[in-house]
């Protein structure tokens, strides 16, 4: 799951990026509104974390431009502006949620999960596919009622597959879920984690689609 963080405060930005990476997200971080526009032009993000007080172009102007373009990207505003008027202005401009600084990273993660569930049309936080269950909130995976211990990146990869059973994901798409801009992509890293997941879950759970990528079968 790849997120874009737009935050000009280096301490807050670094803390949020680090914390969300521990939750299995790939987080790209930019520090002003113009850089955010350039980043979003790639269209690879599932959610935008947006500060309002940004240099060059304000977060509110960025949000209004995004919505005028017709983009449905979920937006979670993170800001120190805590008045009711500011919250109303942000929500009316197109924000999906509004979190006031300072905030706890566990609450931020919970709000992100809720927005992504809403975007995906799901009410339950748990992804269930046959005997396989994945809980994004607790980072627990169960197979046939037994717990499966996964690393952060194994979990992120499995999460990507379970969001779209039966849909093949390319190596590039999977790398985007695992790495941010500032991280060097290791050679054959996707293959390594696929091999590890097959070993822990069973080879039948992840199949290779020749020339396309990998998928979890639609029917488990």
pLDDT at 123 exceeding the cut of 60: no
Q: Is the pLDDT score of 13 beyond 90?
A: yes
Q: What mean pLDDT value characterizes the chain?
A: 89
Query: At residue 120, does pLDDT exceed 70?
Result: no
Residue 50: exposure state from Cβ atoms within 10 A (0-12, 13-18, ≥19): buried
- Whether residue 31 has pLDDT greater than 70: yes
Q: Tell me if domain 2-119 and domain 127-215 are identical in fold.
A: no
- The CATH H-level (homologous superfamily) assignment of domain 2-119 is Response regulator (3.40.50.2300)
CATH number of 127-215: 1.10.10.10
Written as six digits, the tokens of 64 are 């209004």
User: Domain map of the chain by residue range?
Assistant: 2-119, 127-215
Phi, then psi, of 93 in degrees rounded to 5: -75, -15
Whole-number Å distance between alpha carbons of 46 and 129:
22
* Exposed / middle / buried, residue 145 (Cβ in 10 Å: 0-12, 13-18, 19+): exposed
- pLDDT > 70? residue 182: no
The structure tokens listed for 204 are 């039948």
The DSSP bridge pattern shows strands 140-143 and 2-6 to be unpaired
In terms of Cα–Cα distance, which of 62, 73, 67 is closest to 31? 62
Q: What are the tokens at 202?
A: 């069973």
| Full-model pTM | 0.70
């Amino acid at each position: 799951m790849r997120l874009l963080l737009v935050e000009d405060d280096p301490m807050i930005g670094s803390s949020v990026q680090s914390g969300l990476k521990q939750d299995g997200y790939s987080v790209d971080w930019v520090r002003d509104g113009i850089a955010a526009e350039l980043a979003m032009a790639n269209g690879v993000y599932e959610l935008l974390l947006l500060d309002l007080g940004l240099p060059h172009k304000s977060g509110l102007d960025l949000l209004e431009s995004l919505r005028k373009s017709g983009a449905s990207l979920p937006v979670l505003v993170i800001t120190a502006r805590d008045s009711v008027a500011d919250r109303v202005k942000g929500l009316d401009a197109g924000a999906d949620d509004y979190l006031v600084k300072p905030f706890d990273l566990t609450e931020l993660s919970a709000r992100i999960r809720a927005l992504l569930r809403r975007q995906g049309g799901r009410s339950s936080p748990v992804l269930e596919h046959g005997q396989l269950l994945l809980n994004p909130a607790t980072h627990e995976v169960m197979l046939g009622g037994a717990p499966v211990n996964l690393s952060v990146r194994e979990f992120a990869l499995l999460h990507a597959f379970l969001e779209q059973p039966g849909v093949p994901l390319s190596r590039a798409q999977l790398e985007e879920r695992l790495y941010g801009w500032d991280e060097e992509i290791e050679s054959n890293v996707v293959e390594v984690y696929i091999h590890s997941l097959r070993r822990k879950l069973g080879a039948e759970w992840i199949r290779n689609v020749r020339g396309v990528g990998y998928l979890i079968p639609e029917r488990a």
